[in-house]
Amino acid sequence: MTLTTKSEWKSFGGTLSVHEHESKVTGTPMTFAVYSPPGDGPFPVLWYLSGLTCNWSNVMEKSGLQRIASELGLMIIAPDTSPRGDNVANDDAYDLGQGAGFYLSATQEPWAQHYKMDEYILSELTRLVAKNFNGDMERQGVFGHSMGGHGAITFALKNPDHFKSCSAFSPITSPSVVPWGEKAFIAYLGKDKSAWAAYDATELVRSGHTTEAHILIDTGLADDFREVHLKPEIFKGVCEAAGQKLTSRLQEGYDHSYYFVATFMEDHLRWHAEALK
Interhelix angle 65-72/258-276, nearest 10 degrees: 10
| Strands, E assignment, 68-134 | 75-78
Nearest-5° Cα angle at 147, 143 to 149: 20
Q: How far is CA 236 from CA 59, 228, 249, in A?
A: 26, 16, 10
Specify the residue, 11 or 132, whose C-beta has the smaller distance to a second copy. Answer: 11
256 a catalytic residue: yes
Is 91 annotated in the active site? no
**Contacts with a second copy, 220-239, as mask; x by CB under 8 A:** x-x-----------------
Chain positions 32 to 61 lying near a second copy, rule: CB under 8 A, are 61
Nearer to a second copy, 54 or 166 (CB): 54
Contact string 64-93 vs a second copy (x = CB under 8 A): x-xx--------------------------
Nearer to a second copy, 15 or 113 (CB): 15
CB 154 within 8 A of CB 177: no
Helices (H), 121-226: 126-132, 147-158, 179-189, 201-206
8 A C-beta contact, residue 156 and residue 62: no
User: What is the distance of C-alpha 153 from the center of its chain?
Assistant: 8
To the nearest whole angstrom, how small is the minimum distance from the Cβ of residue 145 to a second copy? 15
94 near a second copy, judged by CB under 8 A: no
11 near a second copy, judged by CB under 8 A: yes
Report, in Å, the least distance between residue 249 CB and a second copy.
15
16 scored as a contact of a second copy (CB under 8 A): yes
Phi, psi of 62 (to 5 degrees): -115, -15
Q: Give the Cα separation of 143 and 148 in Å (integer).
A: 7
Does 113 contact a second copy by CB under 8 A? no
Phi-psi region of 39 (alpha: psi -120 to 50; beta: other; left: phi over 0): left
Catalytic, out of 50, 223, 268, 272: 223
Distance linking the first and last C-alpha atoms of the chain: 30
How does strand 29-36 pair with strand 14-22? antiparallel
95 annotated active-site = no
Contact pick of 53, 176, 255, 270 for a second copy (by CB under 8 A)? 255
Q: Is 257 in the site for a second copy (CB under 8 A)?
A: yes
Q: Which of 82, 146, 167, 170 is catalytic?
A: 146
Residues whose CB is less than 8 angstroms from the CB of residue 194 and which lie 6 or more positions away in sequence, other chains included: none
Is 22 a binding residue for a second copy by CB under 8 A? The answer is no
Least distance between a second copy and beta carbon 67 (Å)? 7
Q: Among 3, 12, 198, 214, which residue interacts with a second copy (rule: CB under 8 A)?
A: 12
**Positions in the binding site for a second copy (CB under 8 A):** 9-13, 16, 61-62, 64, 66-67, 220, 222, 253-255, 257-260, 262-263
Active-site residue numbers? Answer: 146, 223, 256
